[in-house]
Amino acid sequence: MALAKDGSLWLGTSEEAILFRFDPKTGAARAIADFSGTEIKAIATLPDGAVVVAANEFEQKTGITPGPATSKGPKGTAAKPPEAGSAPGADKPAPGEDGPPRGDVRKGKGALFRVDAEGRVEQLHALADTYFTSVAVTPGGDIFAGSGGQGRVYQIRPDRSVITAFDVDERQVTAVMADKDAVAFATGDAAAVYTISGATGKEARFTSKVFDAGVPARWGNLRYRGAGVSVTTRSGNTSKPGKGWSEWQAVATPAKGASDATVGKVASPTGRYLQWRVDFTGAASALREVTVYYLPQNQRARVTSVEIGDAEAKRTPVTLAAGASKPRSPIVKVKWKTDNGDDDELVYRLDLRADDDVEWRELYTGAEPLTATSFDWNTEALPDGYYRLRVSASDRRGNPQELALDNALASAPFLVDNLKPVVQAVEVKYPNVAGRAVDTFSRIDEIAYQIDGGDWIMAFPQDGIFDGLSEGFNLKLPAGLKPGQHLLAVRVADEADNIGAASVVFRVK
């Protein structure tokens, strides 16, 4: 139950998961929403008068008579975990653990919904592998929700972004309380009480989920964007960390790369699985992105299908290019999806800002309102760097102005890179060639060379992995070239499909 400011009482049921609103003035209760899950576990009022509801679905119902589990959410509307590109943080990997993973006594799923007095239901967050046990709301509108099987408390901010706020060793969060100054929660298995104030903790750590390369892999560079953190990794050949895994090892010689990125070599040995861990050193510590480069063990090739389409978005491999390289286009295709339950006609607006900026500016998409769910965006005039794109959807075309609703979602940061890589310090001592490929923002992705206008020949960097902004290369030219003058051309490409080239004349005695 939850008591609203106007004196009405919100009530949730188990078995049929119905949400009621009791009006003390009339003495009557009205069903506001009918969820097709197993139970409504928790209700909390929001500052604007609506309520946040935790609805769960279990493999077996909690009543006397077992029944089949159905999808959660209002009947006829499946509620599912947000897809990639949804609210920030909603689809991020959750922290892992050093020991065996925490188990669940009850198997279930959970979702959080916002419900107003008119019965409008909007999903805020969903968990595919555990359920919600409790909900609390701060005076500022931040929602804190405890989970029943992973020892986590999630925070849903007023802008609908979702983060894992707290992750503790105990398995089940049984109760959450919040006010303007602090948050507190209790756990079971084992029992504990935690209070969190505004003070900064002395130690904080985030451990990733185990990454599966599919086959044994050699690990290259680890690249992260953030500050005030130290990164370690470990690897192994079993899906669960334990005996036979390597010890935690610091990333070797981390150094600043382009923008605010830091790059260091993974010191962990070859293995199929990898896990990384970040220790935060102070209040100003932040971690925005982690990328690990690796080289999988070579496997036998199998051709299963061939698809022809969207050729402009795919760079022709240098091994197939006998003539001049394909020109790179600065056009970026932007696509998005919407869940339009009532099939209203939607119009869209695109806004752009640099990742380190606070102001959004509208992206011109033409004189007519944008109704398509894709847009070809010319990035040629933009300085290279990281950006965010925000898509706003409105149903104002199909509704009166006072009833129209809109919603916006910003993308994760992405890199705009239109600068070509350069080939430096090419030196020929036949039959050996040495040189270096260098780029400002994107890692080097390809190296190829040709002699006297012949076929392009692929080459690997000196360390065998394309994982850096600067890659040295050593080439072995074919033996038996005729005596006299020859022309060597070297072509390199970066991850953003920009191509740079250099040539040098050499003589064979």
Q: Which residue in the block uniquely carries the two structure tokens 């382009």? A: 258
For the beta carbon of residue 101, count every other beta carbon within 10 angstroms.
Answer: 11
pLDDT at 198: 67
**Geometric angle at alpha carbon 281, from 276 and 284, rounded to 5°:** 110
- Identify the segments of the chain with pLDDT beneath 50: 61-104, 301-302, 305-325
* pLDDT reported for residue 273: 97
CATH superfamily of 422-508: Immunoglobulins (2.60.40.10)
The residue ranges of every structural domain in the chain are 2-199, 206-296, 331-416, 422-508
- Rounded CA separation 487/457 (Å): 14
CATH topology agreement for domains 331-416 and 422-508: yes
At residue 199, the pLDDT reads 62
Q: Phi/psi of residue 438, each to 5°? A: -135, 135
- How many C-beta neighbours within 10 Å does residue 19 have? 24
Looking at residue 171, its pLDDT comes to 86
The CA distance from 483 to 481, in Å, is 6
Q: Is the pTM higher than 0.85?
A: no
Beta strands in 83-202 (DSSP E): 108-115, 121-127, 132-137, 143-147, 152-156, 162-167, 172-178, 183-188, 192-196
> What is the pLDDT, as a whole number, of residue 46?
93
Residue range 331-416 in CATH 2.60.40: yes
CA–CA dist 359, 352 (Å, integer): 9
In this prediction, residue 299 carries a pLDDT of 65
- The pLDDT of residue 245: 97
Q: What is the pLDDT of residue 202?
A: 67
Under 8 Å between Cβ of 20 and 10:
yes
Residue matched to tokens 């999988």: 296
CB atoms within 10 A of CB 138: 17
CATH (one of 3.40.50.720, 2.60.200.20, 2.120.10.30, 3.40.50.2300) for 2-199: 2.120.10.30
